[in-house]
A and B are shown apart, each in its own frame.
Chain A
Amino acid sequence: MIYSYLLATVIVFLGCKWLLASFNHPLANPLLWSIVTFITLFSVTPLDYQDYAQANTLFIALLEPAVVALAIPLFLQLQQIKAQKFAIFLSCSVGVFMALISGTATAWLMTNDLQLLLSLLPKSVTSPIAMAIANQVGGIASLSAAVVIFVGLVGAVFGFQILKLFNITNKQAQGVAMGCSAHAIGTAKAIEAGQTQGAFSSLALVICGVMTAILAPLFAWFIAFL
C-alpha cells in the first residue's frame, strides 16, 4: 500500500519536530531533517522513490490552495502594508536586483557554462515562476527547480539567524527579507515566526516573483553578451 508513504511523511515530520523542539540551533530544522531522512532512505534501501512521489502528490497539490490562502494573512495586515507601500516596493525592487546580480556574479566567477548561469538566474523565486523563467531564457527547468528548493532551505534554515546577527529585528523587515530571498519555503518559516513576518514574507514573495519574471529575461540577454 503506497499510500502509507503519505502517513510516513506526516510521522517523520512530526517526529523531527518533536525531537528537535528542544534544540535552539538553526540546523535543528524539522523540514531539513525530514527531507534528509527520506533522501537517505531511498538512497540506501531498495525502496522505490517513485512510489513515495506518487503517494505524496496530495501534499504537493495542497501547496497550491495554501498559496491562495496566503491572501488572508496579507489582508489582515492591510493597514500596515498600505502604510509602508513605498518601503515594501523599494526593498523588493532592490532585493530582486541583488538576487539576480549576486547570484549570477558569484556563479560567473566559478563557471562559464551559460546554460548553468541561466538556470541559476531565477533561484530566489517560487518554483513554478522559476521553471517558467528557465524555459523562457534557455536554462534547464528541472535544475532551476532543484536550485530553488535548495535556496529555500538555506533561507528557512539560516534566515532568521542571519537577520538576528545583523540586528534586523523589525518583524516587517524580517518578513520582507525572507520572502525576497527564500520565496515560499522561507515564507513557511516566516509564518511560524509570527503573523506579521508571515504576511510581509507572502507579500515580498508575490512582488519579487512578478518582478523577477519581468527582469530575468532582460538579465539573460545581458549574460549572453558577457
Chain B
Amino acid sequence: MWSNAFKTLIHFSRSIAVILTFLFLGKALNQLTGLPIPGSIWGLLLLFTCLSLRIIPLKLVQPSTNLLLSYITLFFVPVGVGLLEHLQLLSNHWPVIVISSLVSTFIVLICVGKLYQYLIKGNHNDL
C-alpha cells in the first residue's frame, strides 16, 4: 500500500516537472522571439507538438494535469478580484466598456458557433 502511494507521488511529481519544463521552454521562446505570445501559450504549443509526435508519452504528463485543469476556475478568482485595482479606470468609462463588451462577446459567440455548425454540417458524430 505504501509503495503504491509512493508511486503515485513519483508519477505526480514527474508530471509537474514536465509541465514546468515546457513552461520554462515557452518563456524562453517568448524572450527569444519578442513576439506578443506569452510563455504559457508557447509551452502549450510545444507540449502539444511533442505529444502529437510521440516524443512525450501521454502517461508521463497526465497525472497532474487533471488536478490543474479541474481547479482552473478557482485560479481565476484572484484574477477577477484584481478588477478592484482598476475600479477607478473602469468607472470612468463604464458605459462604453460594458456595452461594447456585451455586444461584441455575444456577436462573436453567435457568429462563430453558427458558422462552425454550418461548416461541419453532415458530420454529426459528436453531437
Q: How far is the CB of B25 from chain A (nearest CB, A)?
A: 10
Interface size on A, residues (CB 8 A): 113
CB within 8 Å of B: which A142-196 residues: 142-143, 145-147, 149-155, 158-159, 162-163, 166, 168-174, 176-178, 180-182, 184-185, 187-189, 191-192, 196
Give chain B residues whose Cβ lies under 8 Å from the Cβ of A98. Answer: 104, 107-108, 111-112
Interface size on B, residues (CB 8 A): 76
Q: Which of A42, A60, A78 has the most CB of B within 10 A?
A: A60
**For the complex, is A49 an interface residue (Cβ under 8 Å from B)?**
yes
Contact A63 B116 (CB under 8 A): no
CA distance A55 to B6 in the complex (A): 30
Contact A35 B23 (CB under 8 A): no
Name which residue of chain A comes closest to B119, CB basis: A87
CA distance A72 to B15 in the complex (A): 12
Q: Which of B37, B81, B86, B120 contacts A209 (CB 8 A)?
A: B37
Contact B19 A69 (CB under 8 A): yes
**For the complex, is A221 an interface residue (Cβ under 8 Å from B)?**
no
Contact A59 B95 (CB under 8 A): no
Q: Which of A56, A59, A94, A191 contacts B112 (CB 8 A)?
A: A94
Q: Which of B73, B74, B126 contacts A170 (CB 8 A)?
A: B126
Give chain B residues whose Cβ lies under 8 Å from the Cβ of A151. Answer: 101, 104-105
Name which residue of chain B comes closest to A212, CB basis: B36
6 A–B pairs (Cβ distance < 8 Å), ordered by A: A39-B84, A68-B40, A73-B69, A120-B100, A171-B126, A202-B44
Chain A residues with CB under 8 Å of chain B are 9-10, 12-13, 30-31, 34-35, 38-39, 42-43, 49, 52-53, 56-57, 59-60, 62-76, 78, 80, 83-84, 86-88, 90-92, 94-95, 98-99, 102-104, 106-107, 110-111, 113, 116, 120, 123-124, 126-129, 132-133, 136, 140, 142-143, 145-147, 149-155, 158-159, 162-163, 166, 168-174, 176-178, 180-182, 184-185, 187-189, 191-192, 196, 198, 202, 204, 206, 209-210, 213
Give me 12 other A-B pairs in contact (C-beta within 8 A), A126-B41, A142-B85, A181-B108 excluded.
A12-B77, A63-B79, A68-B23, A84-B123, A87-B116, A87-B120, A98-B111, A107-B96, A111-B96, A146-B86, A159-B109, A206-B44
Chain B residues with CB under 8 Å of chain A are 16, 19-20, 22-23, 26, 35-41, 43-45, 47-48, 51-52, 58, 61-62, 64-65, 68-86, 89-90, 93, 95-117, 119-120, 123-124, 126-127
